[in-house]
């Protein structure tokens, strides 16, 4: 996460919320969420007889509901949650109900800047998408895999366009699903479809699809590549060139392919979750180098170190010179940066965060039930009950720590900006 | 006749031993290579400890539940396999041949004991034949090749005993003995007799899977 | 002894098998089989076929063989002889009728229970070979309708029962509301990051057996477990694609399941009382993706219940009084050796246990496993008849006074229910969770 707005980067500590004190005021307090700038802490609270609402820095929203769930801060700082009453759902944004009530709402998603908020919606058994309070005109028999484009112009989902009588295996194999783009379904009929990726400008969407019982490929704006594979995973767009790439299975191995042709010149036992650097100059992917040994390949070249449990959550600096990930071996997790694991191993590790200058890596780590923020392998701040992802300041020399710690038996939320030592 | 005997006990020994050894190495190695390519997990999960644990329980009579469920068969099959393998290796007549040719020898059993063992092998073969003929499931499972194998296995022991006992036609029997013995040896790697080679690996692998991955016994 | 061998096959008409067969020609079969033999018949399979000495020692390992009057075509080696041996020997030159029969055998006469691998002195794993035949059938587009439909559901919805995204969340919230009537401060925490336990269940739980989620929630709540469930696909740990031979879809399902656990930063995956799902997550799905062991530790409910019982996190208020017996699900016994923990847990909860013989690793399958029950009504009678030995075991227990059969597996429940009904055995069936819920201090 990088800072682009006018956040308070003054060194020092604030305590915007005292969740430990909320506990006494409510029946219970659920898992807290924190705003991107760290100034607000919010949690669903059960107020007792009257119902549920959100408590933000100790102040509750006006409306009470039978249920409030899925509180999420948008990247622009707006706080959303899904509320239910009398078997109906509504989206709440900063305490206000946005748009109509629906039979069910779920899967709140945001565009990159948070300007757009979308949810999946069900009304009377018909499925649709609500974007910024407005429901698609089109409705479908089912809907899944909702995605919002980075600039917010598009919502894409996998939709069922034809009803299947129970047990009709022939109909399924003829294809009852399509990709809906802002409600329209211009593309081909599919057996199934899953994850979608967008081009940087949001103009195009690529989705992993199944076009026959044996063939998988990538559909671009709903239209499948001609070439198919026995397996594909989630595609990505190169942010610079717009080239669509996807992990594909060829024979008994996996490689990265573009437009159906292999891009990397070797096969791996497994390859998935590839990502590009911001400038599109490099691609990295999680790979299994051989059976049971996991690693990372950068532009097709594998790292030397391998890990037995898994490798996950790749992150690349914008120029691609730094690649970081989570790796786990024998139940101990750590962060690996450019093939070098941090010396510490932890019970749990959260995704690595790279500084804007691409030289530092920070992450939330947990050991023995206590959480800490570590930067470049060294603990920066520790002893928390819970820590949220750290944020680097624009100069890469400061870190915003958002964490909850135990203050005399009561949970206290702290927001601190810490100075990092000189450049590495 | 003499030259045929010389041929059978000379070059043919080499041929059969080479076929046996070469064939065994070939079939084991080619399977190992194939497994490297197509059954990667075999290598990944093979555990010496658990493989031996499993093999151990299956080479001890009545140690596995299924051995106990088939008491007579177990008795017969262990007798059969022990006599089948040990008799030719420690038979005085065989050891003597070695001594003549190479000048060294090892512990041996008298030929009379050899006859008893061969007789046991034959009796066991008859038992197996009976199973193939009269047990409904085994008869159904048996194919022509299973009967041929049985005959092939019995042949050297029958002819060996024949020759040693000097029954009529024992000279021919001796030739047949040598020939069938060599044939049997040479065929091991290329037929179902190969279970003798692969047993350690198939049992060992399932033992590894059961022991190391599934934490269960397999006997 | 009669000379007539081989149960009549082919008289059960299944839409999936028939429509698949209608599209086939010997040429298609040969090409598909050759490709599969070339690409997927590895050293293990070939060695099994090469060295089987056809001794018949595996026959009495198989409950089908034992239940079907010793019909040798039901013996493990017999099933191989009827199917894969021929395909291999003839290099795929088999006709459509042959493949229909092979399909019926592989899908409905073998539970992939792996008991025979324990009884063959050479350690030949017949289940592997039957699964190979199933995969060939999948590639030929000839799979029994009901299980194929389930596999389609997996593909479209990432769960076994066509449960839509909102329906999943709705069922959890509904169960939470129900449970709050009993335990007012109970929660089913959705999407909670960093919990100790990601609790995953099979598709039929939210659809048909939602009370199990309710009970699990009460048990976890009382035990003070820090747990969560996802509000996204990936919640379902079940896997019929594994059993139709659609390994590509199996991989996809397991990938999503593990990714969900990783995304939620859960320390362990605890699964509900299901056997096949455990096999998929613990044994087969992870392997297909390249994981030697699951990336996140996978704990079966029995293991977890045993843990919280022995740690005293759950207290037994009153032991279950009716005499019980224990059915060992193949996939967690031969698949994970949980039989002793199961017995210890039952011992802590129940007054009297009457064992079935044989038990533990040597248990008989309920004949529902391996996707057989999922092949649906057309094959139900065959399945129940194939489980006669299980019926005999249960009848014995009943005669000794047994009242309740504890079976910690969903498919076993389905299978045992039919067995109890068909063989008129007046016993009831329970999950271990049912017993805990009933006996615990609340
Ligand atoms: S599978 Fe094993 S037990 Fe069965 S017939 Fe073959 S060798 Fe004998
Ligand atoms: S049902 Fe079980 S015992 Fe019978 S053949 Fe299949 S795996 Fe073997």
pLDDT at B1: 66
Helical residues (DSSP H) of C311-374, grouped into ranges = 330-333, 339-349
Overall average pLDDT of the A177-184 stretch: 98
Interface mutation vs chain C, best among A146, A213, A328, most C CBs within 10 Å: A213
Query: What confidence category does residue C1 fall into, taking pLDDT thresholds of 50, 70 and 90?
Result: very low
Of C164, C185, C255, the CB nearest to A27: C185
Q: Are A352 and A324 in contact (CB under 8 A)?
A: yes
pLDDT at A259: 81
A367 in reach of chain C (CB within 8 A): no
Residues of chain B whose pLDDT is less than 50?
Answer: none
Residues of each domain in chain C carrying CATH 3.40.50: 157-309, 315-439
d(CA A196, CA A176): 18
Give bridge partners of residue C279 from the DSSP assignment: none
Overall average pLDDT of the C69-81 stretch: 96
Q: Determine the distance separating the centroid of ligand 2 and the alpha carbon of C361, expressed in angstroms.
A: 14
Q: Is the dihedral of CA C83, C88, C90, C93 positive or negative?
A: positive
Q: Determine the distance separating the centroid of ligand 1 and the alpha carbon of C121, expressed in angstroms.
A: 7
Among protein residues, the one whose CA lies closest to atom 7 of ligand 1 = C52
| Other CB atoms within 10 A of residue A309 CB | 23
Residues of each domain in chain C carrying CATH 1.10.1060: 15-143
Q: Which residues of A100-117 are buried (b: 16+ CB within 10 A; e: fewer)?
A: bbbebbbbbbbbbebebb
Strand locations in A74-204, DSSP E? 79-85, 88-93, 96-102, 104-110, 117-123, 126-131, 134-135, 142-148, 155-160, 177-181, 192-198
pLDDT at C2 exceeding the cut of 60? no
Query: For all residues of chain A together, what is the average pLDDT?
Result: 95
pLDDT at C3 exceeding the cut of 50? no
B37 contact residues in C (CB cutoff 8 A):
42
d(CA C264, CA A300): 29
Query: What confidence category does residue A2 fall into, taking pLDDT thresholds of 50, 70 and 90?
Result: very low
- Ligand 1 surroundings by CB, under 6 angstroms: B 141; C 52-58, 76-77, 120, 122, 124
Q: How do the residues of chain B divide into helix, strand and coil, expressed in percent and rounded to 5?
A: 85, 0, 15
Give which of A309, A304, A346, A345 is closest to A330, Cα–Cα.
A309
pLDDT one-digit tens code per residue, A265-309: 999 999 999 999 999 999 999 999 999 999 999 999 999 999 999
Compute CA distances A46 → A29, A67, C171, whole Å: 7, 9, 20
- Among C102, C114, C119, the mutation site with the greatest number of ligand 2 atoms within 8 A of its Cβ is C114
C235 contact residues in A (CB cutoff 8 A):
none
Q: Is A382 exposed, middle or buried (0-12, 13-18, 19+ CB in 10 A)?
A: middle
pLDDT at A6 exceeding the cut of 80? no
Q: Determine the topology of domain C315-439 in CATH.
A: Rossmann fold (3.40.50)
CA angle A48–A51–A55, rounded 5-degree value = 85
pLDDT one-digit tens code per residue, A320-370: 999 999 999 999 999 999 999 999 999 999 999 999 999 999 999 999 999
Of 2.60.40, 3.30.950, 3.40.50, 3.40.1350, the CATH number of C157-309 is 3.40.50
pLDDT one-digit tens code per residue, C411-425: 999 999 999 999 999
Query: Is A276 strand, coil or helix?
Result: strand
Query: What confidence category does residue A128 fall into, taking pLDDT thresholds of 50, 70 and 90?
Result: very high
pLDDT one-digit tens code per residue, A93-108: 999 999 999 999 999 9
Give bridge partners of residue A197 from the DSSP assignment: A206
Query: For all residues of chain C together, what is the average pLDDT?
Result: 96
Compute CA distances C439 → C176, C324, C346, whole Å: 21, 14, 11
Task: Give the single-character DSSP code of A170.
Answer: H
pLDDT one-digit tens code per residue, C328-359: 999 999 999 999 999 999 999 999 999 999 99
Give which of C379, C316, C372, C309 is closest to C345, Cα–Cα.
C309
Among protein residues, the one whose CA lies closest to atom 8 of ligand 1 = C55
pLDDT at A423: 53
Q: Which residues of C29-39 are buried (b: 16+ CB within 10 A; e: fewer)?
A: bbebbeebbee
d(CA A192, CA A219): 11
Give which of C414, C279, C429, C406 is closest to C345, Cα–Cα.
C406
Give bridge partners of residue C198 from the DSSP assignment: C228, C269
CATH class of this structure's domain C15-143: mainly alpha
Q: Going from the N-terminus, what domains does chain B have, and what CATH number goes with each?
A: 2-38+65-213 (1.20.950.20)
């Amino acid at each position: 996460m990088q800072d682009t707005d006018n956040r308070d980067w003054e060194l020092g500590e604030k305590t915007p919320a005292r969740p430990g004190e909320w506990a006494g005021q409510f029946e219970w307090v659920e898992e807290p969420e924190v705003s991107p700038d760290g100034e607000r802490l919010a949690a669903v609270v059960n107020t007792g007889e009257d119902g549920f609402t959100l408590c933000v820095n100790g102040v509750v929203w006006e409306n009470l509901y039978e249920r409030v769930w899925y509180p999420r801060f948008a990247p622009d700082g707006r706080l959303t949650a899904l509320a239910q009453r009398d078997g109906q759902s509504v989206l709440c944004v900063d305490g206000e109900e946005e748009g109509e009530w629906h039979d069910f709402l779920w899967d709140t998603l945001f565009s990159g800047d948070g300007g757009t908020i979308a949810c999946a919606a069900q009304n009377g058994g018909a499925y649709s998408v609500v974007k910024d309070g407005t429901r698609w005109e089109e409705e479908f028999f089912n809907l899944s895999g909702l995605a919002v484009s980075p600039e917010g112009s598009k919502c894409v989902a996998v939709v069922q366009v034809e009803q299947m009588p129970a047990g009709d295996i022939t109909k399924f194999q003829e294809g009852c699903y399509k990709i809906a783009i802002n409600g329209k379904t211009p593309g081909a009929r599919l057996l199934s479809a899953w994850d979608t990726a967008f081009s940087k400008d949001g103009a195009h969407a690529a989705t992993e699809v199944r076009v026959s019982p044996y063939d998988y490929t990538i559909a671009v704006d709903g239209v499948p590549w001609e070439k198919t594979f026995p397996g594909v995973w989630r595609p990505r767009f190169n942010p610079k060139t717009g080239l669509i790439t996807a992990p594909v299975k060829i024979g008994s191995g996996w490689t990265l392919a573009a437009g159906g042709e292999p891009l990397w010149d070797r096969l791996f036992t497994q390859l998935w979750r590839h990502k590009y650097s911001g400038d599109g100059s490099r691609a990295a992917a999680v790979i299994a180098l051989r059976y049971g040994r996991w690693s990372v390949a950068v532009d097709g070249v594998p790292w030397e170190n391998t890990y037995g449990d898994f490798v996950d959550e790749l992150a690349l600096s914008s120029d691609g010179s730094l690649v970081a990930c989570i790796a786990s071996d024998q139940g101990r997790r750590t962060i690996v940066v450019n093939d070098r694991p941090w010396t510490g191993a932890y019970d749990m590790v959260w995704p690595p965060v790279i500084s804007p200058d691409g030289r530092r890596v920070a992450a939330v780590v947990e050991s023995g039930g206590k959480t800490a923020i570590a930067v470049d392998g060294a603990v920066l701040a520790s002893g928390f009950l819970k820590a949220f992802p750290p944020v680097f300041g624009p100069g890469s020399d400061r870190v915003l720590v958002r964490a909850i710690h135990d203050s005399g038996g009561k949970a206290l939320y702290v927001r601190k900006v810490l100075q990092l030592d000189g450049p590495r | 006749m003499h030259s045929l005997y010389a041929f059978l006990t000379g070059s043919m020994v080499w041929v059969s031993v080479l076929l046996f050894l070469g064939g065994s190495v070939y079939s084991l190695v080619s399977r190992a290579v194939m497994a490297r390519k197509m059954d990667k997990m075999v290598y990944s999960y093979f555990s010496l400890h658990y493989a031996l644990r499993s093999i151990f329980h299956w080479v001890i009579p009545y140690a596995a539940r299924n051995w106990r469920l088939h008491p007579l068969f177990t008795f017969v099959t262990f007798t059969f396999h022990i006599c089948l393998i040990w008799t030719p290796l420690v038979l005085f007549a065989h050891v003597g041949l070695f001594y003549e040719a190479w000048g060294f020898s090892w512990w041996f059993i008298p030929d009379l004991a050899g006859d008893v063992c061969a007789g046991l092998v034959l009796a066991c073969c008859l038992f197996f034949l009976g199973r193939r003929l009269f047990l409904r499931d085994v008869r159904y499972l048996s194919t022509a090749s299973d009967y041929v194998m049985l005959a092939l296995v019995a042949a050297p022991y029958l002819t060996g005993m024949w020759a040693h006992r000097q029954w009529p036609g024992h000279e021919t029997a001796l030739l047949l003995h040598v020939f069938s013995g060599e044939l049997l040896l040479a065929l091991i790697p290329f037929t179902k007799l190969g279970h003798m080679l692969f047993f350690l690996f198939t049992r060992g692998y399932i033992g590894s899977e059961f022991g190391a991955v599934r934490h269960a016994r397999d006997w | 002894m009669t000379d007539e061998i081989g149960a009549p096959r082919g008289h059960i008409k299944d839409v999936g098998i028939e429509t698949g067969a209608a599209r086939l020609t010997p040429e298609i079969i040969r090409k598909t089989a050759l490709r599969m033999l070339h690409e997927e018949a590895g050293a293990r399979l070939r060695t099994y076929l090469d060295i089987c000495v056809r001794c018949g020692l595996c026959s009495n390992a198989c409950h089908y063989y034992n239940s079907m009057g010793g019909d040798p075509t039901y013996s493990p080696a017999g099933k191989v002889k009827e199917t894969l041996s021929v395909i291999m020997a003839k290099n795929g030159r088999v006709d459509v009728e042959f493949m229909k029969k092979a399909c019926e055998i592989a899908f409905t006469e073998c539970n992939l229970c792996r008991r025979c691998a324990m009884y063959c002195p050479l350690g030949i794993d017949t289940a592997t070979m039957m699964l190979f035949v199933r995969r060939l059938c999948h590639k030929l587009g000839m799979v029994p309708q009901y299980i194929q439909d389930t596999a389609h559901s997996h593909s479209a919805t990432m769960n076994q029962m066509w449960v839509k995204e909102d329906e999943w969340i709705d069922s959890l919230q509904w169960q939470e509301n129900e449970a709050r009537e009993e335990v007012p401060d109970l929660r089913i925490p959705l999407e909670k990051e960093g919990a100790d336990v990601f609790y995953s269940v099979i598709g039929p739980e939210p659809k048909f057996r939602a009370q199990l989620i309710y009970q699990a929630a009460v048990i976890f709540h009382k035990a003070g477990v820090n747990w969560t469930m996802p509000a996204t696909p990936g919640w379902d740990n079940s896997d019929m694609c594994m059993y139709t031979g659609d390994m590509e879809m199996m991989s996809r399902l397991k990938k999503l399941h593990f990714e969900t656990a990783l995304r939620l930063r859960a320390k362990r995956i605890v699964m509900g009382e299901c056997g096949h799902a455990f096999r998929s997550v613990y044994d087969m799905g992870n392997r297909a993706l390249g994981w030697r062991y699951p990336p996140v530790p996978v704990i079966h409910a029995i293991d977890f219940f045993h843990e919280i019982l022995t740690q005293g996190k759950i207290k037994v208020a009153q032991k279950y009084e009716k005499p019980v017996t224990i059915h060992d699900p193949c996939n967690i016994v031969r698949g994970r050796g949980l039989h002793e923990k199961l017995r210890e847990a039952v011992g802590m909860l129940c007054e009297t246990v009457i064992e079935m013989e044989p038990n533990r690793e040597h248990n008989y399958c309920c004949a529902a496993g391996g996707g057989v029950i999922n092949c649906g009504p057309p094959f139900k009678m065959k399945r129940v008849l194939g489980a006669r030995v299980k019926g005999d075991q249960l009848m014995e227990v009943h005669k000794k006074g047994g009242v309740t059969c504890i079976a910690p597996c969903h498919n076993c429940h389905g299978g045992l229910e039919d067995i109890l009904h068909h063989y008129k055995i007046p016993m009831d069936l329970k999950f271990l969770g049912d017993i805990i819920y009933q006996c615990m201090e609340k």
